[in-house]
């Protein structure tokens, strides 16, 4: 666990990339906070589908919800999942308070069927924000074309937003602008901006999965494109949110002087998908101060066992060289990241539909038991 503490001390916030009733009921989540330097958690439809389908710990709450007249599968999902989010947020509240609101967050995602609908995303995000009623929660909104205006509007409304399914620097630029525009609108309306937090979740390993498939098996670029892409993103973050008046974005300096917090980069999808690579590759190579790394539990425990913090960051030069070499090898990163965005939305939609089907099945069983 000393490695995790050292990673935290190096400036990386460690968030757990899973959440379940079992983790909460068993006390394991509280122990991860106490012993493993975990300072946040994220969830998504895939995570909750596995949690709810793989456990009977939700059955009593499901029965109670049905008895109170709730039958819609989506509303039943919200009843079950939001309870987990609230409990996790309460466990993380001391972290949030001790960090002055910089850390200690748990995220819940808007349903992926709304990814291409700005207005409905905003409406649902506001509902979820109100129902959770915790300052240390974030609502996840995908960085789609429709998600960008939703990010701005929700920031304007004072909602903490976790922007998910980010793959390209070009899209990241839009996300930063949406965040700053939302803060500027609040400031113009006389609303406070000092308590608003946001993270931009940049997916890592999926980029390598796509790029590696287009490279020869023995290419020296295999396993390097995603890290270079993420490091370029981090360099962009440092430029846009610089504290140096000579380097910083003028918009940011005005917002910062009014109390705004930078939108922190978050490394998502950091579990290694290729067994030929180190199981801690995307943690060791992305030790970036002020960023978040959200890890599956297996990756977290692997880093605790054998993670190495000595890898040099080499943000600018090495990343530019790798990406230039990748272009020379025929890797069209723009095409890859656009495809990954579409696939990500589709995958989350599939998981969400599976989740609703599971709740329907459980609901039938609950109704039979209740009626006996």
Taking the C-alpha atoms of residue 201 and residue 291, their distance in angstroms, rounded to an integer, is 10
Greatest CA separation found in the chain?
73
* Inter-residue contact 326 to 336 (CB < 8 Å): no
Among residues 338, 286, 334, the alpha carbon closest in space to that of 309 is found at 286
Catalytic positions, written as ranges: 140
Tokens of 92: 């993380």
* Per-residue CA distances from 75 to 16, 51, 85, 216, 223 (Å): 25, 17, 15, 48, 41
Phi then psi dihedrals of residue 39, to 5 deg: -125, 15
Angle between helices 225-240 and 205-213 (to 10 degrees): 140
Name the pairing type of β-strands 13-16 and 198-203: unpaired
Taking the C-alpha atoms of residue 293 and residue 298, their distance in angstroms, rounded to an integer, is 14
SS3 323: helix
Q: What angle do CA 348, 136, 141 make, to 5 degrees?
A: 30
* Residues whose CB falls within 8 Å of the CB of residue 85, separated by 6 or more in sequence, listed in order: 19, 43, 106, 108, 132, 134, 137
Among residues 186, 163, 53, 39, the alpha carbon closest in space to that of 110 is found at 163
Alpha-carbon 62 to chain mean position = 27
Neighbours of 289 (CB within 10 A): 10
Residues composing the chain: 372
Among residues 188, 186, 182, 138, the alpha carbon closest in space to that of 164 is found at 138
SS3 282: helix
Place of tokens 């493993």: 36
């Amino acid at each position: 666990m000393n490695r995790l503490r050292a990673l935290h001390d190096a400036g990386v916030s460690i968030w757990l990339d899973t959440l379940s009733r079992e983790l909460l009921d068993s006390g394991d989540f509280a122990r991860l906070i106490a012993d493993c330097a975990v300072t946040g958690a994220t969830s998504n439809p895939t995570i909750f589908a596995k949690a709810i389908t793989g456990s009977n710990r939700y059955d009593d709450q499901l029965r109670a919800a049905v008895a109170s007249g709730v039958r819609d599968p989506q509303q039943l999902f919200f009843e079950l999942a939001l309870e987990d989010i609230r409990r996790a947020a309460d466990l993380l509240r001391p972290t949030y308070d001790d960090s002055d609101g910089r850390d200690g967050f748990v995220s819940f995602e808007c349903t992926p069927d709304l990814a291409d609908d700005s207005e409905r995303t905003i409406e649902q995000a506001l509902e979820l924000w109100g129902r959770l009623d915790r300052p240390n929660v974030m609502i996840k909104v995908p960085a789609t074309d429709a998600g960008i205006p939703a990010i701005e509007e929700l920031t304007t409304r004072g909602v903490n937003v976790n922007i998910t399914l980010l793959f390209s620097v070009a899209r990241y630029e839009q996300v930063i602008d949406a965040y700053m525009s939302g803060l500027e609108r609040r400031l113009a309306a006389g609303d406070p901006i000092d308590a608003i937090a946001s993270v931009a979740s940049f997916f890592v390993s999926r980029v390598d999965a796509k790029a590696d498939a287009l490279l020869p098996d023995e290419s020296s670029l295999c396993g390097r494109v995603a890290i270079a892409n993420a490091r370029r993103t981090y360099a962009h973050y440092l430029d846009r949110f610089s504290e140096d008046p000579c380097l910083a974005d003028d918009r940011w300096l005005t917002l910062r002087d009014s109390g705004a917090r930078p939108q922190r980069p978050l490394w998502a999808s950091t579990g290694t998908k290729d067994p030929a690579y180190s199981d801690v590759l995307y943690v060791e190579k992305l030790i970036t101060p002020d960023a978040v790394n959200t890890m599956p539990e297996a990756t977290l425990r692997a880093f605790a066992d054998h993670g190495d913090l000595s890898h040099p960051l080499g943000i600018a030069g090495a990343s530019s060289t790798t990406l230039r070499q990748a272009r020379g090898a025929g890797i069209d990163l723009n095409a890859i990241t656009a495809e990954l965005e579409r696939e990500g939305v589709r995958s989350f939609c599939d998981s969400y539909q599976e989740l609703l089907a599971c709740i329907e099945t459980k609901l039938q069983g609950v109704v039979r038991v209740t009626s006996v």
